[in-house]
Chains A and B, each alone.
Chain A
Amino acid sequence: MVEWTKKHILEIKDLTRQEMEVVFNLASSFKEVSQREVKKTPALRGKTVVNLFFENSTRTRTSFELAAKRLSADVLNFSSSTSSISKGESVVDTIKNLESYRPDILIIRIDTGACLKNFLNYTRASIINAGDGKNEHPTQALLDMFTVKEVKGSLDNLNVLIVGDIMHSRVCRSNIFGFQKFSSKVRVCGPPAFIPFEFEKLGVDVFYDLDRAIEDVDVIIMLRIQRERQNLAYFSTLREYVENFSLTPERLKRAKKDCIVMHPGPVNWDVEISSTLKDELHPLILKQVENGLAIRMAVLYLVGAEKREHKTLRR
């Protein structure tokens, strides 16, 4: 097993395959903790974890909060709507202020991309990226891959298809970098305005036609569509978007027989995915949420507990 050296989890771009495997192994162990009567381990006792959310989020924040609490850390929740940001304090000043409390881990969600590396100058704490602009959402990708690994047994040589608003999706970017490190092939599919400039150069195959894109895929990730994009003419009407990019039973038949479908949630049923597939697909999407907790416990543990052996989890 590799020794963990990373202080921060900022981007999947920065992680190696081996490091991701460490996270997955640890997450498997932590899943067990959550099934116990007493769902707590003392791994991060005495550590201070700050949920620093400059952008609204309930699901990711809750997941991180619970993960930190199950590791016995002290958790401070900070969200911009209730904080000094609304009084005009800058993001950097907020971080400097919190630094006075000597936090051990800052979990940051922010609406501007690729800004976290510059924040490292202002804090001694570890930073975990909980979504930065349209750049990355590493724990979401880790939980997606972890879920795939649980179902498929391996992450190697898969065909992964990501459908929807590729342009604005940090989940998509993190998944691309992650799956590619396991030598899986990634395809993206959406209307052209949702495909970033020269995106093929990332080594992904670009499709505008979902019926073709879906052929032979092992994994499908459907991205949530934000209805306000329609106003900026990324696509015309929701009706037409659904007609072209919604996952229907007929379309799903074109994928591999054992293809699995994931969604970072919350799902707009009958927009991204036809509700006739709900009974079939919803259980795995809920499984993602459960795995998200384990993945977040794992990364918190890895960056929070210095110089530990990660072969086995101390219980």
Chain B
Amino acid sequence: MKILIKSATIVNSKNTILADILIENGRIAKVERNVKEDADRKIDAKDKFVLPGLIDLHTHLRTPGREDEEDLISGSCAAAKGGFTTILCMPNTNPCIDNEGVVEWIREESQKIGIVDIIPIGAITKERKGKELTEFGALKKAGCLALSDDGSSIDDSYLFRRALEYAKMFNLIIVSHCEDKSLSLQGAMRECFISGKYGMSSIPDIAETIRVFRDIEIAKYVNTKLHLAHISCKKSIELIRKEKEIFSYLTCETSPHYFILTVEDVEKSNFHGNFKVNPPLGERNDVEEIKKALKEGIIDCIATDHAPHSFAEKEAPFENAPFGVIGLELAFSLTYTYLVREKIISLNQLVEKLSYNPANILGLKERGEIKEDAIADLIIVDVNKSWQVISKNLVSKSKNTPFLNSELMGLVELTIHQGKIVYERPFFPSINLSSGE
């Protein structure tokens, strides 16, 4: 199938160009003005932007194990609707993604669905217990590009060092969730004035920063790649800023809620479970520092940390509710609304954080940029359209987001994955499903 996108304003991380795009055999065949060729489908992209497909380094798909909260189909649809064409899913599943069997199963099933590319992140230790290393080589062969114990930071520094060394041999990247659990304990929100005022069990920001420091020092010592997940506080950024000057293997991400929401929003929600995330939401100065770091390029990526939870789990009292919010359908619009429109970053930088840098970190050379011969993963967005986040219109099985009923700017109109239209608002043509908008 040939697709021709006419009058596209192509936004790559480094430039914006006006051209037509011809897609053939799953690849971008031509990027040039006035392509005359015939195509099976012609799309007029006048007044819209065409971006490389977004890449999410941090998704939880709850599969296998909690398919009531998300499965590979609903997760794929949520991703495509949000403009993602490649997502990496974390191994905190049941069974855990700690062996090639589970990796192969997810790869095969998701390819059968064929809506987005799902690349599992393998566990570093068996069952993410922080005791024994998994078989990195087998995980890599099965398709993993990155490894992480996700929510369970490896407390044993010796083991973490050995994991980094072993990962180096396979050219795998370690993604670290930085949390010193002896400090965070059973905390539910950031330790701050508000937590004290309500006697809410709390987590100090240093629980993250201390682990950031340790992980960077070990990675520097081993001299290998390290990616830090969902950075949430000013202190961590100050440290990362300094280290990045001398250590080029270091990359990091944040998530939209960390550059938008604060502990004050937690209070205003009357401590609703949808505002409970780990690491917890910070204070105003953390949000400002994260925005600054995104602008400066200290933070390389924006990842969703998409974490579906059932309604019943999230309506529990705040201190008992599980951590996490969904993000696949929201990340683009949140980033556009709160960063691009507010002139914190440009649309090119949005592409850098949500596509180009993640591709680079994973070594996916044919993604993250609209150019000839690249894989045809791209999206058409209308940044002038606003939309309201309404629970029933979300295609994710779970609706746990603090942005319910918010009005956001920027809408993904069309998602092409490997040369195939997988989402054309509001339809998922390949599986004959509508998002219901």
Contact = CB atoms under 8 A, between A and B. Distances in A.
B197 interface: yes
Interface stretch (B32-40, B89-97, B198-206, B426-434): B198-206
Contacts of B202: 197
Interface residues of A, number: 26
Most chain B C-beta atoms within 10 Å of own C-beta, residue among A117, A167, A197:
A197
Interface in B153-196: 191-193, 195-196
Contacts of B199: 113-114, 133-136, 167-170, 173, 196
A133 B198 CA distance: 9
Contacts of B200: 113-114, 133-135
Interface string B255-273: 0000000000000001110
B312 interface: yes
Given A114-B270, A133-B200, A134-B200, A197 B195 contact: yes
Contacts of B318: 112-115
A61 to B, nearest CB: 19
A133 B315 CA distance: 17
A197 B198 contact: no
Most chain B C-beta atoms within 10 Å of own C-beta, residue among A92, A118, A168:
A118
B317 A91 contact: yes
A198 B198 CA distance: 12
Report the contact-size class of chain B (Cβ under 8 Å from the partner).
20 to 34
Nearest to B192: A197
A264 B231 CA distance: 43
B270 to A, nearest CB: 4
A218 B193 CA distance: 27
B319 interface: yes
Given A112-B317, A113-B319, A133-B319, A90 B196 contact: no
Given A113-B199, A114-B270, A133-B200, A90 B193 contact: no
A199 interface: yes
Contacts of B315: 90, 92, 118
Contacts of A111: 319
Interface in B269-296: 270-272
Interface string A97-128: 00000000000001111110110000000000
A91 B199 CA distance: 20
Interface in B200-257: 200-202, 204
B388 interface: no
A140 B195 CA distance: 21
B320 interface: yes
B312 A173 contact: no
Contacts of B270: 114, 117-118
B262 to A, nearest CB: 15
A112 B319 contact: yes
A87 interface: no
B284 to A, nearest CB: 14
B17 interface: no
A277 interface: no
B362 interface: no
Nearest to B312: A90
Nearest to A176: B197
A76 interface: no
A110 B195 CA distance: 18
Most chain B C-beta atoms within 10 Å of own C-beta, residue among A111, A114, A198:
A114
Nearest to A173: B199
Interface in A127-145: 133-136
A164 to B, nearest CB: 14
A110 B196 contact: no
A135 B204 CA distance: 19
Interface string B298-322: 0000000000000010011111100
Contacts of A135: 198-200
Given A90-B312, A197-B191, A197-B202, A115 B196 contact: no
B122 to A, nearest CB: 33
Contacts of A202: 193, 196-197
Contacts of A227: none
Contacts of B312: 90, 92
A201 interface: yes
A158 B315 CA distance: 41
A206 to B, nearest CB: 11
Interface string A54-73: 00000000000000000000
Contacts of B320: 91, 112
Contacts of B316: 90-92
Most chain B C-beta atoms within 10 Å of own C-beta, residue among A112, A136, A199, A202:
A112
Interface string A173-202: 100000000000000000000001111011
Nearest to A115: B317
29 contacts: A112-B319, A113-B198, A113-B199, A113-B318, A114-B200, A114-B270, A115-B318, A115-B319, A117-B270, A118-B270, A118-B271, A118-B272, A133-B317, A134-B199, A134-B200, A135-B199, A167-B199, A168-B199, A173-B197, A173-B199, A196-B195, A196-B196, A197-B191, A197-B193, A197-B202, A197-B204, A198-B193, A198-B196, A201-B193
Interface of A: 90-92, 110-115, 117-118, 133-136, 167-170, 173, 196-199, 201-202
